Structure formats: C-alpha cells, structure tokens
Structure 1
Amino acid sequence: MTRPVTYHRTISVAGLNIFYREAGQRDAPVVVLLHGFPSSSHMYRNLIPALADRYHVIAPDLPGFGLSDMPASSDFDYSFAAFSNVVGSLLEQLGVERYALYVMDYGAPTGFRVALAHPDRVTALIVQNGNAYEDGMGDFWAPTRTYWADNGPVNRDAMRPFLSLDGTRFQYLAGTQDEARIDPAAWLYDQHFLDRPGSAEIQLDIIYDYQTNIALYPAFHAYLREHRPPALILWGENDPIFLPDGARAFLRDLPDAELHFFDTGHFALEDKADEMIPVMRDFLARNLTR
C-alpha cells in the first residue's frame, strides 16, 4: 500500500503563523491531533500516515511550540483559552466543520475547550494520557500546585528543571519497559525549541495558567455527560504525570467509553504505536463515516 503523503503547511491565524501537518483526502472524515508539552505535531509524525489512508488528518503546533510563532508574552496571551481559540480559528479557516479530536497532555484541556465552544462539531474523542479529573493528578503535581498558590520567583524557579533536557528525557522514558523503543530524536527535537531565548519564561507562564483547566473540570464533565461523544481512552499506565485513575475517571461521565491501558509511560505513542494504532483504526472505523 502506498504511504500517504504528509504535507507541512503554515497559515496565518489571528496574526500568528501556525504550522500544521496535514494528510489524507479532504473529503474524508477529519481527525484533529492536539499535542502535549513540551512537544508539537512532531509527536504525531508516525501516527499521521497510519490514519491518513482513511481520514483527513490535521495536527497543528500550538503557539510557542514547534514551528508555530512564539511571540513575546507581551504580545500574546499564553493561555489555554487562547490556544483553544487558535485551534478553533484554524479549523474554521480550513473549512473543517466536523472533526474527531485526539488529545494528549496539553492537547486535552485545549481540545475540551474547543468542544465546549462547539459541541456539535465533535464527532468522537480519543484521549491519550490527557487528564480531565483530579483523580489523575498525584504527588508529581505538588511543586506545580505550590507554584499556582504563589507564583513568586522561588516557586517559579523551582519549575525550571522540568524544562531542562533531563526533564524532557524523563517525560519520554519514565514508565517505559524498553528504552530502546524510544527514539532519542523525539526529546532532542522538543528540547531544541524549549532552549530558544525567551521560551522558558513562556513555558512557565503556560504552566501557571494550567490551573485554569482544573477550574473547568466540572464544565468538561458536564459536556461529556450531556453530549456523550464516542470516546476511546488510551493510557500509558505507568505515567507518573497523569495516573491511571485519571483514565478510569472518564467512565464516570462516559460509561460507554472504551478504555485501554498500555505498559508504558506518558508519551505512549513513542513506545506502543504498534499496539495503539490498530485499536484507534478499529474505533474510528466504527464511529466515523463520510
């Protein structure tokens, strides 16, 4: 079978150059892939062609990530509200009226905000280590909660090691059983963008804003209960950042959701794509139609 071509495009959205990867026929059902921290659409480089034979796949880089613009904080509100507005505007400019959402890490609150704004447009959800419940947030979050309570320089500086190469490598390797399955180029690519001048302060601003997502959890849950989108929950069960209870919690509001655990960590696709992609394709085939 011929491998679908992935196109690498840039479009102006609200005055920002937003980079996105795109593949598949434009009249096919749309699947939007929203990345996590500290990555970009690069984390979907292998998934995109694995879906694009049947679906129109779109994977943007959020502002401040990857190849999208990284304006100064004085020129752009680095918030999840702004991220969701950019994603929504991008999809409207591309003429995409209905779409399934694949959300991971930062992509989850971004995608759920998009869904809150336009619940009728979301055809299905795939959630991969993308939290929406307090159940999923354990001891790992203690320093972040301290930072949220007081964003003074001491607590802000305490977050900086998470932006280092060691911090990025940790996200990719923690919870994996065979590190040889993880391509080091993935964390090196992410770190390249984290190390840009000004990036650390922007990322610290985003981490501080993450608390606004927790405040919206009740609204996210209400959306899930009311609209009951077909949902597939995929979780690296050894993830120290978002715990397995965060995956199980979705079943409270989406009792018909399909839940699958994989013996890996946070960036599960880097390790278990061979197991996850068949599950995704089966789910999408049953729930998305032209």
Structure 2
Amino acid sequence: MIRHRYASVRGHQLFYREAGSPDDPVIVLLHGFPTSSFMFRDLIPRLARDHRVIAPDHLGFGLSDAPDVDEFAYSFDALADLTAELLAGLGVTRYAIYVQDYGAPVGWRLAIRDPEAITAIVSQNGNGYDAGFVEDFWAPVWAWGREQTPENEAGVRPALSLEAIRWQYTHGVPDAEVVSPDTWHHDHALVSRPGNDRVQLRLFADYVSNPPLYPALHAMLRETRVPVLAVWGRHDEIFGPAGARAFLDDAPDAEVHLLDGGHFLLESHLDDVAPIISDFLRRRAGTGAVAA
C-alpha cells in the first residue's frame, strides 16, 4: 500500500508518497520537471517489496505547497534543503537515491553535503556531467540563466506548454501509444496554476548553478565508491546517453543500461527498469540503508 502523506517543513506543506516496511533499507525517489512523485506511482510498489520508499514532491510541484516567488526564494539549493529536512524529520539517516531530471541536482547536493548517508545512486536520465547536455535543447536555458530578458524568457516559456510537456513524455518512445496522456495533462494542469509559471521560470534561471557542482560530485564518486546505476532512455534529447556513460569516468564499477526509450523511461519501460533497479540494489547496496 502506498501512503499519501504531508509533512510541514519550514512552514511549508510537502507532499510525499511512502510505502514499504520502516525496517527495510530506504530509497528516496526524486522527480524531475515538470512532474512530481506521480511519475513513481507504478514503480513504488515494485521497490516497496524490499525497501522503505519515500517519494516527495518538490516545493512548487505536484501536491506540495507552491508559494509565489515573492514569498519563497526558489533555487536548487533551497529544494535540497527542504528535502534534507523532510528526511531528517522522517528519521532517515542512510538511503539510496533515484534521481531523474531536476531530481539529480537535488540529489547531488544531498550526496555532496553528506556522502556517508548515500548507500547507492540510481540515475534515470538524471544528469551529472557536461557530456549529458543536448545543446539544442539547453541553449535557451543557458541564455535565460545568464540574463533574464524578455527575449530570453520567450525562449524558455514554451517549455510550460501542453505540447512541450507531451513531447517530453513521447519523444524517443518507439510506440508512443503506450504512454498515457494522463501524464502530460496532469503535469500541465499543475504547472498552469496561477503564479506557478514564475516558479518554473525562477528554477530555469537557477539551472546554471548545477554544472559547477559536477566536479564535487565526481570527487565524491571517486572517494566513496558508492554503487552507481545509470539506466537511461537512449533517445532522450534533453539528457543524452553520453551522460549515462560518463559516470564510468569516476565510478568505473558503475552499471550502465541504455534502453530503447526517452526522457520519462518509466512510462514505457517500467517492466524493464524495475527489475534492473531491484537487482542492482540487492547486489550492490546491501541492507545498510536503514531509518534511524
């Protein structure tokens, strides 16, 4: 059974999904843009057979609070702070992380700050290397991050449209009919709430803060030798497969799987991805990730 819960963190209500025994190893699922823990709705029961699974909605996303940008200073540092406090409040001190898209820079910050807490890393199209960026997609984001002008805003604002969100779900999927339209309509409805466009634009602008963290992430991977699994949709034109292979540079024992899918791989390849993750965690992460 998945429990649907809220926790108050710094005066904000954060929604999270939780399943599994509190005595089992913990895995934290960190979602990307423009979605929420909704993306893990079918993966959670698979992992909960052997793990305590915690999947929060970042502030401004999903069912978590979404204060206006005048009330909260949105940044990836701030999202990581809230996630760390949520986990501390839940008594979690050691855990594996599954990161996708925006979940990656949140997860990297957690890992860099407290590497001893991380028992394993699963990256599903969650970038940690410059090699992963597909330049045609990212050029408008870099421009907006450098200078928030009306012209540069016009380059990134279309990412909030229904068509752009649909593209994220279906592009690169060999049979797009297997991807439910509920996904992009659900996400579009939530990012279309009054004022949420400003939240998303603020985070688009802050994405430039993430690549400078990569060297610290790479050092952490080398020093801790934490087990790494990269399971990616090879046709993703946001974070390309070179980003998955790049983990081998600093984690030579990393396991890399490139599947015949796109950015939101779980929507088309859940039956392939879930066993890969479960087998990896069983073999490589052991049972050390326990809640205090």
TM-score under structure 2 normalisation? 0.96
Q: Does 1:280 align with 2:277?
A: yes
Q: Is the 8 A contact 2:137 2:237 kept in 1?
A: yes
Q: How does 1:35-184 map to 2 (within 5 A)?
A: 35-138=31-134, 139-184=136-181
1:285 is displaced (CA, Å) by 1.1
Q: Secondary structure at the match of 1:259?
A: strand
What SS class does the counterpart of residue 242 from structure 1 fall into? Answer: coil
> Which of 234, 239, 243 is equivalent to 1:242?
239
Unaligned runs of 5+ in 2: none
In 2, the alpha carbon distance for the partners of 1:149 and 1:198 equals: 22
CA deviation after TM superposition for structure 1 residue 99, in Å: 0.3
| Cα distance in 1 between the residues matched to 2:93 and 2:286 | 14
CA distances 1:79-112 after superposition (whole Å, capped 9, x unpaired): 0000111110000000011100000000001001
How big is the alpha-carbon RMSD for the aligned residues of Structure 1 and Structure 2? Answer: 0.8
Post-superposition shift, 1:288? 2.5
Q: How does 1:197-212 map to 2 (within 5 A)?
A: 197-212=194-209
Q: Compute the displacement of 1:128 (Å).
A: 0.4
The list of structure 1 runs, each at least 4 consecutive aligned residues, that deviate by more than 3 angstroms after superposition, is: none
**1:149 Cα deviation from its structure 2 partner:** 2.2
- Listed one character per residue, the Cα deviations across residues 184-227 of structure 1 (whole Å, up to 9, x for unaligned) are 11111111101100011110100100110011111111111111
Tell me whether 1:26 sits opposite 2:22 in the alignment: yes
Which of 191, 194, 202 matches 1:194? 191
SS in 1 for 2:232: strand
> In structure 2, what is the Cα distance between the partners aligned to 1:111 and 1:40?
15
Q: In 1, Cα distance between the equivalents of 2:18 and 2:85?
A: 16
Gaps of at least 5 residues in structure 1 are none
Query: Residue 70 of structure 1 aligns to a residue in which SS?
Result: coil
Mapped to 2, the partners of 1:222 and 1:207 lie a distance apart of 26
**Alignment match, 2:287:** 289
1:213 counterpart residue number: 210
Report the 3-state secondary structure (helix = DSSP H, G, I; strand = E; otherwise coil) of the residue aligned with 1:266.
coil
* TM-score (normalizing by structure 1): 0.97
Residue 258 of structure 1: aligned partner:
255
Distance, in Å, in 2 between the alignment partners of 1:148 and 1:53 is 42
Asked whether the 8 Å contact 2:68–2:198 carries over to 1, the reply is no
C-alpha separation between the residues in 2 aligned to 1:113 and 1:91? 14
* Separation in 1, partners of 2:286, 2:137: 36
Q: Counterpart amino acid of 1:7?
A: R
The alpha-carbon deviation at position 151 of structure 1 amounts to: 1.3
Q: Comparing both chains, which one has the higher relative contact order based on Cα–Cα distances under 8 Å and sequence gaps of 6 or more? A: 2
**For the residues of structure 1 that align with 2:250 and 2:17, how far apart are their CA atoms?**
32
1:261 is matched by which residue type in structure 2? L
How many angstroms does 1:167 deviate by?
0.7
In 2, Cα distance between equivalents of 1:215 and 1:123? 24
User: 1:39 and 1:228 mapped to 2: Cα distance?
Assistant: 31
* Structure 1 residue 157: Cα displacement: 2.3
Letter of the aligned partner of 1:235 in structure 2? W
AA at the equivalent of 2:202: D
- Between the aligned residues of both structures, percent identity stands at 51
State the distance in 2 between where 1:49 and 1:115 align: 25
Q: How many residues align?
A: 286
Secondary structure at 2:66 match in 1 = coil
* Range moving further from structure 2, 149-158 or 161-170: 149-158
Q: Within the alignment, does 1:231 sit opposite 2:238 as a pair? A: no
